[in-house]
C-alpha cells in the first residue's frame, strides 16, 4: 500500500507558533526558549531510556 501520506502536524504548529510570537510581549518571550530547551532535553533522555530498555529486552 502507499500509506496515508503526510499527517497534519506541520502546518498547524507553524501557524500557532507565528500567532503566539505576534501576540507575546517580548519580555516574556525568553522563557519560551528555556522551556523548549528543557523539553528537547527531556525527549532526548526519554529516547535513551526507551532504547536502553529495548536493548535489554524490557520493551
Partner 1 sequence: MEMSATSEKRKLALILPAHNEEVVIGATIRSALAAGMDKSDIFVVSDGSVERTLMIALNYLPWYNTFAQAQGGKAMAIFNGIKHFGIPERYVWVHIADADGIFSPSYFDELKARLSTEYVAATGHVQSLKGGWISQYRTYEYTVGLEVMRRIQAKLGTIPVIPGATCVFRTDIIDKLDFSQHSLTEDMDLTLQIHRKKLGKIAYIPQAKAFTQDPKDFGDYFKQVMRWYRGAWQIMTRHRVGRRLQKIDGYMGYMIAEEVVLLLELTILPVVAWWTGNYNFLALMFLNDMVIFFALTLWSAKLNHRSDMLGAFPLFYILRFVNMFAFFKAWYEIVVQHKFRSDSPGWSTAGRRYRIMTEAVGIN
Q: Is 30 in the site for partner 1 (CB under 8 A)?
A: yes
Subset of residues 1 to 20 that bind partner 1, contact rule: CB under 8 A: 1-14, 16-18, 20
- Could you tell me how many residues make up the chain? 59
Would you state the cell numbers that stand for residue 36, as one nine-digit string? 523548549
Q: Is 27 in the site for partner 1 (CB under 8 A)?
A: no
- Count the residues of the shown chain that bind partner 1, applying the rule CB under 8 A: 38
Query: CA-to-CA distance for 20 and 34, rounded, in angstroms?
Result: 16
Q: Which of 33, 53, 57 is nearest to 45 (CA)?
A: 53
Which residue in the set 27, 54, 55, 57 belongs to the binding site for partner 1 (CB under 8 A)?
Answer: 54
Amino acid at each position: 500500500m502507499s500509506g496515508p501520506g503526510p499527517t497534519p502536524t506541520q502546518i498547524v504548529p507553524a501557524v500557532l507558533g507565528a500567532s503566539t510570537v505576534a501576540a507575546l510581549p517580548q519580555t516574556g518571550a525568553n522563557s519560551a526558549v528555556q522551556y523548549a530547551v528543557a523539553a528537547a532535553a527531556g525527549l532526548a533522555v526519554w529516547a535513551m531510556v526507551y532504547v536502553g530498555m529495548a536493548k535489554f529486552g524490557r520493551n
